[in-house]
Amino acid sequence: MYTEKVMDHFTNPRNVGEIEDANGVGEVGNASCGDIMKIFLKVEDNIIKDVKFKTFGCGAAIATSSMVTEMAIGKTLEEAMELTNAAVAEALDGLPPAKMHCSNLAADALHEAIKNYMEKGA
């Protein structure tokens, strides 16, 4: 059902945790399936220097959260805003159709964290 990459990011998630002095935080959730994702950013000179996540959800939700953090580190805010949920799923070599909409919210959480950073005028 899940690709090898999805299983790897689920069983060995990258960048799990919280950034105490995060300057951008985004949270999204899907009430119908219970997945909740929170992304923490550390931005310096318009570059994402660090990203951490906390996710409550299924294996696909954890895997997509892990993958989006890997994809975002080192990118400018503009580049990170161009990351899509479809690109995250593609980087994981695909997700089952039933998981695309409920579990693949990672890019949305990243975008919310970037918007939060920008609203603060940091």
Domain with 85 in it: what CATH number? 3.90.1010.10
Compute the average pLDDT of residues 113-121.
94
**Active-site annotation holds for 33:** yes
Q: Which residue has the higher pLDDT, 30 or 57?
A: 57
Residue 21 structural domain: 4-120
Catalytic member of 7, 25, 33, 81: 33
Catalytic member of 14, 91, 102, 115: 102
Cβ contacts of residue 88 below 8 Å, gap of 6+?
A: 64, 67, 68, 71, 104, 106, 107
Please report the pLDDT score of residue 98 as a whole number: 83
Report the domain count for the chain. 1
The pTM of this model reads 0.93
User: If you ran DSSP here, which 8-state letter would residue 24 be given?
Assistant: E
The per-residue pLDDT for range 68-103, each reduced to its tens digit, is: 999 999 999 999 999 999 999 999 999 988 888 766
**Active-site annotation holds for 58:** no
